[in-house]
Amino acid sequence: MKNIPLILMGVGGVGRQLLQHIVSCRSLHAKLGIHLRVVGVCDSKSLVVASDMFSMGIGDDILLEVCRVKLDGSSLSTLSGSGEFQIFMNSEMMKKMIDVAALLGKSTGLAFVDCSASSETIGVLNQVVDSDCCIVLANKKPLTSTMEDYNKLVSHPRRIRHESTVGAGLPVIASLNRILSSGDPVHRIIGSLSGTLGYVMSEVEDGKPLSQVVKSAKSLGYTEPDPRDDLSGMDVARKALILARLLGSHINLDSIKIESLYPEEMGSSVMSTEEFLGCGISLLDKNIRERVYQASLNGKVLRYVCVIEGSRCEVGIQEVPKNSPLGRLRGSDNVLEIYSRCYSEQPLVIQGAGAGNDTTACGVLADIIDIQDLFS
Give residues with Cβ within 8 angstroms of 336, minimum separation 6.
167, 170, 172, 189, 190, 191, 192, 193, 349, 350, 351
Chain mean position to CA 187: 24
Q: Tell me: is residue 169 an annotated ligand-binding position.
A: no
Active-site residue flag, 95:
no
Residue 52: how many other CB atoms lie within 10 Å: 12
β pairing state of 85-89 and 111-114 = unpaired
**Known binder of ligand: residue 15?**
yes
The pLDDT profile of the chain, 376 residues, written as one tens digit per residue, is 899 999 999 999 999 999 999 999 999 999 999 999 999 999 999 999 998 888 889 999 999 999 999 999 898 988 876 678 999 998 899 999 999 999 999 889 999 999 999 999 999 999 999 999 999 999 999 999 999 999 999 999 999 999 999 988 899 999 999 999 999 999 999 999 998 999 999 999 999 999 999 999 888 878 888 999 999 999 999 999 999 999 999 999 999 999 999 999 999 999 999 999 999 999 999 999 999 999 999 999 999 999 999 889 999 999 999 999 999 998 888 999 999 999 998 999 999 987 788 999 999 999 999 999 988 7
Q: State yes or no: 40 annotated in a binding site.
A: no
Whether residue 41 contacts residue 19, with contact meaning beta carbons closer than 8 Å, is answered with yes
pLDDT of 19-46, one tens digit each? 999 999 999 999 999 999 999 999 999 9
To the question of whether residue 12 is assigned a binding role by annotation, the answer is: yes
Cα Rg of the chain, angstroms: 22
Structural domains in the chain, sorted by start = 2-169+358-374 (3.40.50.720), 186-353 (3.30.360.10)
From the candidates 70, 152, 218, 239, give the one annotated as an active-site residue: 239
Residue-wise pLDDT for 105-164, tens only, equals 988 999 999 999 999 999 999 999 999 999 999 999 999 999 999 999 999 999 999 999
